[in-house]
Structure 1
Amino acid sequence: MRSFERQLLTLCTAALLAAAPAPALAAGAEEDAKTLFARGRELRGAGQCEQAIIAFRSALEIYPEGLGALRNIAECEEALGLYASARRDWWDLRRAALQSTEAKYAGWSEDAELRYRALGSKVGTLTLKVQGAEGRQVQVALDGKPLDPRLLGVELERDLGAHTVELFYGGAAPLTERVELTPGAQRVVTLTVPPPITARDAPAAPGAPAPPPSSSAVRTGGYVALGVGGAGAIATVVALAVRAGAVSAVEEGCSPAGDGAYVCPPSLQGDYDTGRTASTLAGVFAGVGLVGIGAGVTLLLLSPPGPASAAQGAPASAARGALQSAELSLAPWPGGLGSRLRVRF
């Protein structure tokens, strides 16, 4: 709304100036400025300093010699807590009053300088710095407005409150930082330009297939899988050997009962438990060995160069053959498990 009012006032003023004859331009401009100044005074008296500043600015643009508009602007800004803006306008008023020959502005330069210095402790300052921009085109914006590069590293007075700093460096989005200024604060914001993205680090385009893993990584995975499979095969052989010992002990200490069954004394309970546990472990280790060896061979075959050796399949064959051996089982016998055991192979 403020911008619309200001534009409307400016357009009306421009139209009046364009329609007026040349000798009457100066007088007409002063009269229009007085009208706008009066409007600004009404708004200020009503406590509407923000709208009053718009009217005073328009009056000052039409008739720069009317320093009363500039003084009212500075006073309104000070009332609104815009101390940095007020200090700038008080200093502009000091300079304009020193150059004016109008008697009514006598002493205004001293008043303006006093107000300028009195507000010095109330403003906050902001210093912006950029790192890593060597040889690159960058642009810093402060509160949405481009900042002159010559002001980088310079302590800038700004009004209190939140400010937004943006660094445009050619990336997909600018670097953004928000900073809060409080009375007397001296804030320094350093923005670091990210290093250029190389082709190797650039993200893959949407829909593009992911690059395949390196050959050495695949081979390493294959060797690791073969190692796990080999360990599983060795553990299977050991478990089968323990199971074979238990079966042998049961066969030697038991009497045949027909149909492949045996009658055994209770003292062979430990051998039976050992054989059963060994059978279970043999199955588990054999599965691990088969999976590991199969995965290792597959990875090595898929990794160029270096086809997998066919000899790696030998432990798998041994483990598979071991799984086909007889299973150790226990069957109850009349009189209870504690007195007689019947074992079937």
Structure 2
Amino acid sequence: MKSLLGKFLPIVLILTLVLSACGQKNNTNDTGTDNGNNEGVKKLKVGMVTDLGSVNDKSFNQSAWEALQQLNKDYGFEVKYLEPKTDADVMPNLLQFVKGGYDLTWATAFTLADAITQLAKENPDAKFGIVDSDIVVPNVAAVSFKEQEGAFLVGVIAGLTTKTNKIGFVGGMEIPVIKRFEAGFREGIKAVNPDAKLIVNYTGLFNRVDMGKSAASTIYNDGADIIFHAAGLTGNGVFNEAKERNSKGGKVWVIGVDKDQSLTFGDDVTLTSMIKKVDEAVYQVSKDLAEGNFPGGKVTLMGLKENGVDIAPTSKKNVAPEVLEKVEEYRQKIINGEIVVPEK
């Protein structure tokens, strides 16, 4: 008996290892997380080119990149980003994904619209996505937001919270998308506090933290106690200036943008944030392509009604309950069409 066990045991072990290996091979087909809902979703290679800011801007670009990372986790998408440092880098960065055989190439800024339009026409078999643009090209899925509607709501908050009746706005470049932020914010303030003064400062760039800090310093020195920024990485400087002032005994606020920026900069300085759901848009359009439903040749427009913009859920930490009630009142008026927020 001992002799027979000695002969057959190695064979049993080998068979066990072979069966085990076969089972493992089936589990490695999906490089993402197998959530049981992957049927019909093709794994894609998706690239993303940012604006001249950083992918870690705590704002717009980061939100888009987090969407692609989630697609990697959920469905095994292969994802990559490139950060152009100058305008001259934009086209080579986009071409790197096109020539690399990526299924979809995202551009996360209005400023990249001309480059995307040119490349899309030159490469009709390639697929592109662009945020903050209304270009209509057959192989481009464009996503645009009604920033003015979300900005109106934080304008209501600012107008009812300010103690000095002076409120600031720091913008990046004076382009249509940022002007929509400014217009909505101005109208929201005016609706609840017509006596408040809005002080506006455009830095001209989205990637200069030092310029954001300087702009904020000027506005706070003029007596403002709240600043809303729509300036990407530059806006981080607004938070830096506010934190510095508060550490010296002052009390000023910043209204964040795109993401819930209280999660990065803290509740002590973030009054609220205007959420712009870039992540959801990038995620959904990319997934649509994987499912064979790419929305090329049209513009997807997202406002309050479409749940594309909002205020941060953490707003209740610093915003008075009665102010939030007023926000909800105006939200419904905008959704119902009783109020049409101007874009400029």
Q: When the two structures are superposed, what TM-score results if normalisation uses the length of structure 2? A: 0.22
Greater Rg by CA: 1
Q: Which has the higher contact order (CA 8 A, sep 6+)?
A: 2
Q: When the two structures are superposed, what TM-score results if normalisation uses the length of structure 1? A: 0.22
**More helix by percentage:** 1
